[in-house]
Structure 1
Amino acid sequence: MNDDALQRNIRQTVASLGLSLKGRTVLTEAASGPYCVTPLIAAMAGARVIAFGKSTRHGSVEEVFAQLEQRLRTCGIGDCVLTDSLTPEAIGAADIITNSGHLRPLDADKLRHAKPGAVISLMYEAWELRDSDVDIKACKNRKIPIGGLNERHPAVGVFEYLGDMAAVLIERSGLTVRDEKILLLCNNEFGPYIAKTLCAKGARLGVIATQTHRERYPADAVWLSDTPGQLNDHDFRDASAVVFTAYPFDQVWISPHGPYPVAFFQEHFPRAVILRFAGDIDTPALDAAGIRYFPQDVAPGHMGILPSDVGYEPVIRLQAGGLRVGQAMLEDSFDVNGQSIGGIITS
């Protein structure tokens, strides 16, 4: 996304959310790629920003800072401090602390420096919170509220991109979407959104998912079961892929004796490559069984595809929404345009 389009998109999103952080200090990350937008959004909403960066496989901290400084200048932003040192002073200055990647884990050692009244804003929904990201006990002990985002709020709408993310994952694996026979195996609320897009793109989709969300799946998706142990009669034995998403993301779901046994895939979907949307799998067991999976390497507890893989717009919406939750906690009002933007998980 070029600088003009980026700036315009951020300003429109800030306005639609009523994001106003004037007089507040936000501690977040300085990251590369689409995730560079978080400090830009906070600053455009009026905040003083402290952005912590570090070198990763995506680039050196010097490169990240140089790119971000250029973006800041283009957007006319001056009140943003870039630092590669996460000091007690930086933590203690923040009114809003995001749970962004470089700041994780937000553990007791870091949080002891947070000032009274500070809040932690999640860049995802409450049900996705992991203790490995934020030390929940430490937050309770220090009375630091944690707020989760409603990603389905109309001004955020990040769930609408889940299907596009699945399509990118399918195509990266070397397959196509249109006319491809694909199974969606899902135990969470992502499923209907993924199914809607894949069916619209012409996939021949079979679904194994929780009964709770069955009525929300498109009519042209074939319902196979709500449990792998009791499949309806189907013609998906020759499916080319299984789009797999299960929560909690850091639980091993596919293993010899797990919730989704390796033998289940060998018996019912022997040709399919398992596409790792979300949820951990026992890769050595799959290797031993000759079952393919993609991507090959996914960090434990992480997703195999991200909003950033489909562009800047979903990331802008996600990060701005997360910051708006921070504002809501500080103002004790979660209503945005007549709907809740999120809620406090713990305080």
Structure 2
Amino acid sequence: MLDLDLSGLTVVVGAATGYQAITAAAAALANAGRVVALTRTSYRHPAAASDATLAFAKYADVAERVEVANRIDSHKWHDVDIVTYCLQVGPISRSLTELLPSHAVVSLMAEPWELQPGVVDFDACDEAGIKVAAPNLSHPAIDLLPEFARLCCALLGDAGVDQRAARIAIVCDTPCAAILEQMLRERGARISVFSHPSLLTDDAWDVILVAMRPSDKPPMDINSLGRIARNSRRAKLVQFSGGIDRSAASYFGLSVWPPKRPSRGQLGLPLDVLGAAPEIRRLIGGLKAAEAAYRDADLGGNNVGFLVTAGSEPGRAYPSPDKDPQETSNL
């Protein structure tokens, strides 16, 4: 159990629908003094997100400490202790960090490799003395890597792939690669793993599973797709994460699943397909990592989360350099 304790803290989260709507109530149940749930003005149904968030808060009998708003006045950001990165809050920009107190903590609510480049200005956070915390997805109380593998297998099933004896090339540069390979082998698939599309061998694949980190440009680009078209024209491309140049795929006559392009930075299937538990473990884990950072508790290693600071590669984040290599092995 993560034993979340946000006693007396002011926490900013996103108002949402689905299982993510519990975030505000979870923070309040952990004794946060005040929880502000921001709606996204461009969201198709902002009232639905507001209603769902407040419904959970009322059910948990914490509605008096949960406020739904579409913005926070500039001067009130100075009262915030923890702010979660989410679409509703928007990018953690330099202008936002300048409004936060130096003791504030930004919770990524994900490991850095899951995030689209540029959504958090790590340099600005470092300069302001603001800690950035990420949950350790391998922590036993969070344990999301096997769930990602299950989700990926479900996506293959939706694509009509018979995983028994299928020749599958996994193109993956995330920590999911090993467990995804293991799970598919157990289901009878013949697997080869490649860390980048440029390393893909010229074999006749049945399926090419793309499970890459988010990036500004799709790693599965026109050059990679041209090679696939020459050698594996009948292969089905399955997009779990990372980008595929779908215009180029269409030009070469390649089949891509899912038919509709996932939103930028989103998975081919949402995590909540697997039920409430994985999503809730992620949300609570993200809040717990922020709590630990706020209270200067031990982070890194096998703990619930780790601190993240700016790295030299644009749009990428790395564990804080004041931790030893063993403590920051999550990346």
* Distance in 1 (alpha carbons) for counterparts of 2:218 and 2:46: 33
What are the Cα deviations for residues 99-156 of structure 1, in whole angstroms up to 9, with x where unaligned?
A: 1121121112222211221010111113445442111222122221111221000111
Contact 2:184/2:191 (<8 A) preserved: no
The one-letter amino acid of 1:31's match is A
What are the Cα deviations for residues 207-264 of structure 1, in whole angstroms up to 9, with x where unaligned?
A: 22349xxxxxxxxxxxxx99324x6xx7xx251x22111235444211133xxx1133
Q: 3-state SS of the aligned residue for 2:83?
A: strand
The one-letter amino acid of 1:100's match is C
What is the aligned partner in structure 1 of residue 306 from structure 2?
343
* Distance in 1 (alpha carbons) for counterparts of 2:268 and 2:165: 23
What are the Cα deviations for residues 299-346 of structure 1, in whole angstroms up to 9, with x where unaligned?
A: 34443333223222111111111111111111111359x932222112
Counterpart check, 1:189 vs 2:175: yes
**Structure 2: gaps spanning 5 or more residues:** 310-319, 321-331
Contact 2:169/2:194 (<8 A) preserved: no
Change (3 A) 1:226 1:250: closer
Change (3 A) 1:178 1:101: farther
User: Alpha carbon RMSD of aligned pairs, Å?
Assistant: 2.6
* Distance in 1 (alpha carbons) for counterparts of 2:79 and 2:62: 19
* Distance in 2 (alpha carbons) for counterparts of 1:63 and 1:342: 31
* Distance in 2 (alpha carbons) for counterparts of 1:205 and 1:113: 53
2:210 alignment partner, one of 215, 233, 244: 244
1:85 alignment partner, one of 68, 71, 74: 71
What is the aligned partner in structure 2 of residue 265 from structure 1?
228
Q: 3-state SS of the aligned residue for 2:178?
A: helix
Normalising by structure 2, report the TM-score: 0.84
* Distance in 2 (alpha carbons) for counterparts of 1:43 and 1:316: 15
Change (3 A) 1:268 1:91: farther
What is the aligned partner in structure 1 of residue 316 from structure 2?
none
1:114-153 equivalent positions in 2, closer than 5 A: 114-153=100-139
Contact 1:30/1:39 (<8 A) preserved: yes
**Structure 1: gaps spanning 5 or more residues:** 1-15, 212-224
1:289 alignment partner, one of 246, 252, 255: 252
Please identify, of 161-170 and 21-30, the stretch whose mean Cα deviation from structure 2 is larger.
161-170
* Distance in 1 (alpha carbons) for counterparts of 2:299 and 2:128: 26
1:68 alignment partner, one of 53, 59, 63: 53
What is the aligned partner in structure 2 of residue 207 from structure 1?
192
* Distance in 1 (alpha carbons) for counterparts of 2:37 and 2:133: 20
What is the aligned partner in structure 2 of residue 99 from structure 1?
85
Q: 3-state SS of the aligned residue for 2:37?
A: strand
Please identify, of 296-305 and 173-182, the stretch whose mean Cα deviation from structure 2 is larger.
173-182
Normalising by structure 1, report the TM-score: 0.80
Counterpart check, 1:227 vs 2:199: yes
1:329-340 equivalent positions in 2, closer than 5 A: 329-334=293-298, 339-340=302-303
Change (3 A) 1:156 1:228: same
Q: 3-state SS of the aligned residue for 1:252?
A: coil
